[in-house]
Amino acid sequence: MKPIKILKVSAIIVMLLGSIHLAATPVAFALFSSTVKPDITSVYMFVMVGLAVLFAGGLQYYLVYKIGADKVFLRIYIGSVIFMAILGIGAVGTLTKNPFAYVSLFVAITEVIAVWSYSKRNTK
């Protein structure tokens, strides 16, 4: 599979993860409410992370079609991949029982490999 195709698919998965995160807000906090009382700051941070992942996925999808045109697109793409990797590592570190945490880390690792492979091929 070509790196560009992998990046395209992973960008769609990132957008899906962001949408799931946002859609899960009421469910997640209903689960929390059964044991602890969540405060408004936690809800805000939770929603912001969902929006951030959606933003990163949308930006990646837009960039995939332009990545070869200018170096700046590749740089921004690398920035978004680093952002996803940080979130993936953090999610796996704290949410050990959540399958979406492992999905986000797997997607981030796939993107790192695909971007590295793409930049290696195109800088020769």
Partner 1 sequence: MNTLKLISITSLIKGICFVVLGIVHCVVTFMPVEELIGPMPEKMASEFRVWFFGVGAFLLFIGLTDILSYKGLKTAFHWAWNFAFISALFCTLCGLAGVIVFREGPPFFIAFAGIFQIFPLILYRQHYNH
Chain residues in the site for partner 1 (CB under 8 A): 32, 35-36, 38-42, 44-49, 51-52, 55-56, 58-59, 62, 66, 72-73, 75-76, 79-80, 82-83, 86-87, 90-91, 93-95
Residue 56 CB, shortest distance to partner 1, in Å, is 7
Residue 123 CB, shortest distance to partner 1, in Å, is 18
Residue 76 CB, shortest distance to partner 1, in Å, is 5
Could you identify the residue written with the tokens 């991949």?
81
**CB nearer to partner 1: pick between 9 and 85:** 85
* Burial of residue 12, with CB atoms counted within 10 A of its CB: 0-12 exposed, 13-18 middle, 19 or more buried: middle
Q: Is 22 within 8 Å of 55 (Cβ atoms)? A: no
Sign of CA dihedral 7, 44, 35, 20: negative
